[in-house]
Structure 1
Amino acid sequence: MEIALPADGGLEKYRLVGTPVAQGTYQPASSRLAFAAAHVVADPLGDNSPGAPAVVDWEHTLEFRRHLWSLGLSVAEAMDTAQRGMGLDWAATQELIRRSAAEAPDGRIAVGAGTDQLAADNNSLEDVVAAYEEQFSVAEAAGAQPIMMASRALCAVAESADDYRKVYDRLLTQSSRPVILHWLGPMFDPALEGYWGNGSFDAALKTVVELINDNIEKVDGIKISLLDASKEVALRNQLPDGVRLYTGDDFNYPELIRGDGQRHSDALLGIFAAIAPAAAAALRALDSNDLETYERVFAPTVPLARQIFSAPTYYYKTGIAFLAWLNGFQPGFTMVGGLQTGRSLPHLADTFRLADQAGVLTNPELAVDRFRQLLRVSGIDA
């Protein structure tokens, strides 16, 4: 099968070479916890222009989550992959959490709790605490594990690491169940530069480790998304026993999940939404200690992940939705906030090639037909 794809300012013939990774209905992996951070599907008939309240296609959004659960993956709901702070407003977020949690198998959903209902400025630490408390209460009412998301508002108002400790200590003490913390780097959200009260990684690491040690009974684990394996390992090596490191490194996840023989990372990844069949197959192989299959399945997904999460990294959501559309999980390539414009046609063409080579175009004929549709609406008759 061939398709003409954009390349070097023109078009070139591309012959599909990948074999789709086999799919089935599986139980969760036994050797690792694995969350896929899922995107939302925009209602194509809704006003999803930039700045407008999100209008979500609930049936396709939930069907995608059913797909993830069927593969044995858990769902990290209402995270940055779902366009928190980039198109998904708080009203829609609450509805998303309620609907998704109502369908989730027991223990297989965790939801983002942040402060994005606040205005961008003129907040106090008390405002930040109150916003977090409201969102934690939504997670609790839904029966879902909370993920304490990094807060733009806290980053803006905090004057020192002590201010972060005041907020985190208070909220962790109040939480009715152990929380997953989230350390999100500025490549994912520039407004988080200097999070934890210091631009130095070593100083931030010290703050985080002390925070976890002082609240160990209320911390299930921490997701770190810095796209730097060495920094993740540095944190992992300092975590107390019983506290999980959830990799959020969409560049280096195979080696981090595999581990070094002493410690390993569990997973909470946006890329798992795009490569779900491959992720499920690799984790099943890891359960059997079949490292050869684990590496073989994951290896071709890494170039795809690095393409989707390339700079500016915060537009990775466009690639996740693009692949969901190619694979038939949503009727159109539309996103809340109009974010489908976040990547260029050549970028999407490279994503198509790499998805084929990774075996994650689950229906190649449909994918080819849909990319041809995209070419036509872009003014290219190929």
Structure 2
Amino acid sequence: MPLPNPLRDLSLSATVAGFVAVLVGFTSSVAIVFAAAQALGASTAETASWIWALGLGMGITSLGLSLHYRLPVLTAWSTPGAALIAASHGISLPEATGAFVACALLITVAGYSGLFERVMGRIPIAIASALLAGVLARFALDAVLATRSAPLLVIVMALAFLAGRRWWPRYAVPGVLLAGIAVALAQGQVHLAGVAVEWTRPVFTLPVFSVNALVGIGLPLFVVTMASQNLPGVAAQRASGYQTPVSPVVGATGVASLVLAPFGGYAFNLAAITAAICMGREAHEDPARRYTAAAMAGVFYIALGLAGGAVAGLFQAFPRELVAAVAGLALLGTIAGGLASALKDEHHRDAALLTFVVTLSGLTIAGIGSAFWGVVAGGVALAFQRQR
């Protein structure tokens, strides 16, 4: 059998899916990253370096891993990790950088040792599917709620989605994006004044290791990244039918974090929400060719990192409601598939439904997000069922 050819496998729908994934991933949480950098006293140049490091880290790992395994492997920065950093007090940027390095070492060991993969191997597919559906359903709800502030924009995009699914399903999401941009331009909601063409310069911060930073940032950053990010990331892969090798992929994100931590790449992990955009039918009808969507997302992330100021301004130019509607509509098919898979097995149905509800709730305990607690709830339900 001939090996896949990335250029031959690439399509317009895959390219748009990669762009939408980057658009959603960047605009949904970049404000938290800026808040994290500012909480550590980072200067404007150092904050720009964070975008440089995060963009390159996500881009290189997504592009390299997707092309190497011919699977849609998309990485992301740790959003709950950024929130944790933003809430820290009394820790300097060099001390936090030392904590980032320690966290990267822990992620690398957890990945390459196979420990994290062994934990994931004990989670049934019904729980994984319910977890994925619960994580993604929040974006569908946000798309609906966006009609309160931009009813015309969201309704036109929804109609474009329905028309696309009816007559050109492969290009439904590109049609939604184009329809949204057209309405936003007509209403004067696209603001390009903040777009400045300039290259981002990396700034090196020498790590300083302190017990306070290691305990206050390093260890919690590792826990929330693995539990709230890598866990649903692997679940998204499995729920979509991709048996991605977990250990080397998670280990690679740890190595990327280790290399880029002094420049602001505080923690990388497997993506779940944005990865689902690249793993759905909207990216490509052929599941074997959807890896090109994740690879293109990697290309866009690299561009984001190299021209952080210009790209950040471009993404910020889109109205918030447009991003919410694109994300919610693009993920509907994946949400439906996850729920169907989660509820198919009657023996796992109660546990899967409990996982879905807890994950969707947005519950946070001890700084760990609802994705982890959803799995815990589903696991407890399974344990009771087996005892019965």
TM-score range normalised by the length of the shorter chain: under 0.3
Q: Which structure is higher in strand share?
A: 1
Q: Which has the higher contact order (CA 8 A, sep 6+)?
A: 2
Q: Which structure is higher in helix share?
A: 2
TM-score by length of 2: 0.24
TM-score by length of 1: 0.25
